Structures are given as C-alpha cells and as structure tokens.
Chains A and B, each alone.
Chain A
Amino acid sequence: MKYIGKIPEELKYTKEHEWVKIESAHGVIGITDYAQHALTDIVFVELPQVGKKAGQFKPLCVVESVKSVSDIFAPVSGDVVEVNDNLSNNPEHVNQDPYGIGWIAKIKVFDESEVKNLMNAEEYKKYLEGLEH
C-alpha cells in the first residue's frame, strides 16, 4: 500500500512535496506528510538564514535523513523572516508533526499570484496517487 499521509485542506502544495500556508502576505513552509514518510527518519535540517531571498521552486534549504540528503524548494518567492530554530536540536519534529511543530521557515511573500502555480489539497492527493511509488 502506498503511503499518502495527511493532506490538510487549507494548504498549498508543490510537486516536490513542500507545503505553504499563506496568511497576510506571509507564508509558512514545511514538507508534507508524504515527504517525511518517504525520507524516513530526519536527522538534520539545515535551516535557511533569516534574510535569504527565496525564489519560487528554487532550493531554500536542506534536510538530511538516514537515507538521503534532499533540497527543500521554496513554494513561493520571498524573504525569509523567521526559521524554526527548534529543528536544530529536534529534527524529529518534522517526522512527528510535519504540518505543525515541524514547520521549517516563514517568508514574506513577494507575489501572492505565484500561488496559482501550486496545487490544492485535492490536486496534490491526485498527484501522489499518480506517482509510480
């Protein structure tokens, strides 16, 4: 059985399995339940620096699991204004609660219309079901 995981309704998704929650011109970013499950145990999150300019679908930061090292891509463009420092000592939060205490960064969004390039929950679910694995 393929693992699909939780897909909260209110979030937007990328093909690379990041989510973003947009509120008052700011976006909170993390990786999806499917992604954390596929990566298996996450052992290190290399957080972006506050002030970094993120480009839509450009590498934002890196997560390392026992299996691999993966780039995390920014779902929308913007300036990084806050990062989840807790992950430095507790990378397992990403596994335990990818949509909650496992959030990665908060960015000030440049252009909210970029959201049209993202998937909603239903589209992401279909996308996952269509993936080969």
Chain B
Amino acid sequence: MKLIFERSVKGRKAVELPKLDVPLQANLIPEEFIRQELDMPEVSELDVIRHYTALSRRNFGVDNGFYPLGSCTMKYNPKINEDMARLEGFSQLHPYAPEESSQGALQIIYELQQYLKEISGMDAFTLQPAAGSHGELTGIMIVKKYFESMNEKRTKILIPDSAHGTNPASATLCGFECVEIKSNSEGEIDLDDLKSKLTKDVAAIMITNPNTLGLFERRILDAAKLMHDNNSIVYMDGANLNAMLGIARPGDFGIDILHINLHKTFSTPHGGGGPGAGPVGVKKHLERFLPKPSVEVVDKKYRLNYNLPDSIGRVRAFYGNFGILVRAYTYIRSNGFEGIRAIGENSVLNANYLLAKLKKHYHVPYNRTCQHEFVLTDKYLSNDVSTNDVAKRLLDFGFYAPTIYFPLIVHGAIMIEPTETESKETLDAFAEVMIKIKEESVNDPEILKSAPLTTPVSRLDGVLAARKPILRYERTMALNEPTH
C-alpha cells in the first residue's frame, strides 16, 4: 500500500484557503527561517478519504473483534464516553480559560478524583500522568521526595520477577537500584526472599496485584507489614485493578501509592487510539508531594491550587489528558456503584470460564482460580509449534492474539484476558479455535508455522525491524508524478 506522501501530485489540493484580506507584508519572517521545501503531500479530499479508509480496514480493534491481550484490559469502550468528551463545553475549552469559565471541567476533575478515591481506598489523587508508566514514574518520584524530606538516603526498590518491565524502568529513571524478588511455586511473591532482601536502604516495593500471572497476592497484608515495619513504602501497579473493582480496595490492604490505568480499567481508548491516563493515588502522609496544581473546592467554587511547596511539581502540561478524564468519568457514572462491582465480578468469571475450557488442552503453570486473566504455556504443543505460531494462527480466525512470552518467568507464556465485556458466545468461539489450533499442532503443523494466511500481510520481519528500524519517512522516490 502506498504512503500518503507517495500519492502526492503537484498542485492537487483538498481545501481552498480564503483570499488574503489584509495587505501582504514583505519580510515578515527573515529569509533564513523560511524553509524552501516543505515535504507535504499534495492530495485531493477524495485521495485522503480513500487512503485513510483503506488503512482503517487493515486495522484491528476491539470494535472489530475479540481482543484478549493479557494485562491490557482491552474491554469495549462505550460510545457514550465519546459523545460526552465531544460536548463543546469540554472539547472547545481553552486550557488557559480562567477558572470562572471552566468550572464544569474542574468539577469533572474534582469528582473523578473523589470516585477514584472511593473505588481504590486511597486518600488523594492526581490525574496528571498521561500513561501507566508515567504514573509509575510520578509515584516513584513521590517516594524519592518523601525520603528526601525525611533526610534519609534509601537507594533500593524491590520488584518481583513477574513485574511489568516499566516497573524497573521507572525505578531506574529515578536513580534507584532495582532488586528482584523471586516468585514462589504458587506464582506469588516469595516472602522469605523478600525478607532476605529487605535492608534498611530499601525505599519501596513495587507490587502488582493481581499480579501478571492473573493471581491474587494472597499474602499482600504480610508483605505490606514487612515493608511498613522497615519504614518502606508499598507501591502498587494498578494495571490489573479491573479484577477487584468494587470487591477489594488497595488502600485497605496496605498500599501507600497506587497508579490506575484509565485506559484499561475505565474504558478509555488505548495506545494508538489513546492518549492514556495514569492517575496516581496516595495515602494521607504522602498527599503533600503530589503534582501541582491540585483542584480544590473553596466556597462552592472549584479552583486550581499552585501553592504546594512540597509538591514534586508538574508532570504534564496543564491538567493531564482531559478528554480521557471525561470518558472515565462517564464510564463510572454510567455504571454506578453496583455496576462497578459487576465489572470486577464478570471479568473474573469470564477469565475462569475460559480457563476451565482450555486447561484440558493447554498446560497451565499455576493451576488456581484466576483473577481477570490467566497464563497458558507452549508445553503441550506438538511438532515444535511455538507460542508465536499459535498467536499468528489466531489472526486467521478473526481474533486478536493474546499477550505472548510475558510474564518472563513462564516459558512460552500465552496470557489471556477476556474482560467482562465479552459474551459467552464469543468466549466459546475463542475456546473452540484455541482447541482447534492445538489439534493442528498435531495434524497440520505447517499451517501453523506459515500463519497468518488471511491478513493483509503475513509474518513481518520483526528482527530486521528491531535491528534496523526506519523511524521516519524520507523521500526515496520521485514524487509529483501522477498516480492512478
């Protein structure tokens, strides 16, 4: 398929700008600042529409089909969220508008913080961080600032071996040394290993609960107590919060700092469809370190408070990805108290239903009731068929692939998260295809190794792309020639 640049024809255009109605000023911009050639595609409106419509047909999203990408909570995002975010009062609001004329937007921010506090059991929130990893960074900056305020030098952060890769990245960026904690045979944090590594210079632990194996850390209270007895902080990566919505609250089981992914748990768009939002909640003793400005209510008026001397400062321009906050607010308000709990319950029910259907056919490394997701392995596949082959073959049946080869502690991991929004019919269809693929690994391994066969492109050279990435378009062919 051609790039939009390659569709360019000299002189072709989609819009006619109005005639200049003021006198043309010469030399407004000094010569040296004017670029001679701007490599912009010259295309008609129809060219643009066809090009992007063609691209969108090659795309796959949750609106197209089942998307069981583990640890990513690819639930359906209700369209009412989009309607609300597009209300003119929100979408046309200038970020520099004075407080008096942006009361509605400030109210949304304030109330969303209240809802997240109630759902998570934390005492205060910032909505500024623009992604989960950004939330982690913000959280660890708060850890750093906290120990600085106590004049204490703590250099280490404990991270379980099943953690998301962003955890050690966030800790390292803040100048901490990461110390790995092993998982035990049940797939949970090994408390003895934790104890042996819990020295006086440990600032915090970064824990994910449920963890990336989709298992609840049943000894979270013991782990938190060990940390608190050492005056260390318990940080929770809330990427998997979906499983416990309305059932358990991190603030009630010893968590001091928590980030939440609105784009996972609260149905706002992901990744390329983003931007995301990674609010951070803290307990009372850490509130003064949160980013500024905060949103407060004074005399029934919402205002921004910049007078926070202990704050780690701003972590994002303005107030975060505001449009995303409106979507999450809408989701919480449309579900209400009971709806929120049903989300948690059904996400766990759906995952366990699928697990029960698949565990006779695929090896399950930790055979327990799971939370919102579960992990299978490649162990029972025949003829050298790999996890990657299974993932590729799923595309032929119109499903997106699960997360593969993660967590790293499971060989050939296939991590499946169905989410609560999928019907029994979809789960049954997916299970049937997974079982069929297992049979193909015995009877027809070649088809698995050459899959996918029905997608616009088959196997891409991921190794070449990683070793020699081409990150931006460069004019490599003669443009301005008519294309058909």
Task: Show the binding face of A for B, using Cβ within 8 Å.
Answer: 41, 43-44, 64, 66-69, 91-92, 132-133
**Interface pair B411/A92, CB less than 8 Å apart:** no
User: When the two chains form the complex, which single residue of A44, A69, A91, A92 contacts B165, counting CB atoms closer than 8 Å?
Assistant: A69
Contacting residues, chain B, for A44 (C-beta < 8 A) = 466-467
Contacting residues, chain B, for A132 (C-beta < 8 A) = 411
**Interface pair B467/A92, CB less than 8 Å apart:** yes
**Cβ of B408 under 8 Å from chain A:** yes
**Cβ of B405 under 8 Å from chain A:** yes
**Cβ of B462 under 8 Å from chain A:** yes
**Cβ of B26 under 8 Å from chain A:** no
Total residues of chain B contacting the partner, CB 8 A = 10
**Cβ of B463 under 8 Å from chain A:** yes
**Interface pair B463/A43, CB less than 8 Å apart:** yes
8 Å CB contacts to A: which residues of B393-410? 405-406, 408
Other A-B pairs, 17, CB within 8 Å; known A68-B405, A68-B408:
A41-B462, A41-B463, A41-B466, A43-B467, A44-B466, A44-B467, A64-B466, A66-B462, A66-B463, A66-B466, A68-B406, A69-B165, A91-B467, A92-B467, A132-B411, A133-B411, A133-B412
**Interface pair B466/A43, CB less than 8 Å apart:** yes
Contacting residues, chain A, for B462 (C-beta < 8 A) = 41, 66
8 Å CB contacts to A: which residues of B294-349? none
Query: Could you tell me the distance in whole angstroms from the C-beta of B300 to the nearest C-beta in chain A?
Result: 51
Contacting residues, chain A, for B412 (C-beta < 8 A) = 133
CA of A133 to CA of B378 in the docked complex: distance in angstroms? 11
Query: Could you tell me the distance in whole angstroms from the C-beta of B168 to the nearest C-beta in chain A?
Result: 9
Query: Could you tell me the distance in whole angstroms from the C-beta of A58 to the nearest C-beta in chain B?
Result: 9
Query: Could you tell me the distance in whole angstroms from the C-beta of B97 to the nearest C-beta in chain A?
Result: 43
Contacting residues, chain A, for B411 (C-beta < 8 A) = 132-133
- Nearest residue (CB) in A for B379 is A133
CA of A53 to CA of B134 in the docked complex: distance in angstroms? 31
Contacting residues, chain A, for B405 (C-beta < 8 A) = 67-68
Most buried by A among B165, B411, B412, B466: B466
Query: Could you tell me the distance in whole angstroms from the C-beta of B379 to the nearest C-beta in chain A?
Result: 8
Query: Could you tell me the distance in whole angstroms from the C-beta of A22 to the nearest C-beta in chain B?
Result: 27
Contacting residues, chain A, for B408 (C-beta < 8 A) = 68
Closest 5 interchain pairs by CB?
Answer: A43-B466, A133-B411, A41-B463, A67-B405, A43-B467
Q: Can you sample 21 A-B contacts with CB below 8 Å?
A: A41-B462, A41-B463, A41-B466, A43-B463, A43-B466, A43-B467, A44-B466, A44-B467, A64-B466, A66-B462, A66-B463, A66-B466, A68-B405, A68-B406, A68-B408, A69-B165, A91-B467, A92-B467, A132-B411, A133-B411, A133-B412
Contacting residues, chain B, for A66 (C-beta < 8 A) = 462-463, 466
CA of A86 to CA of B41 in the docked complex: distance in angstroms? 39
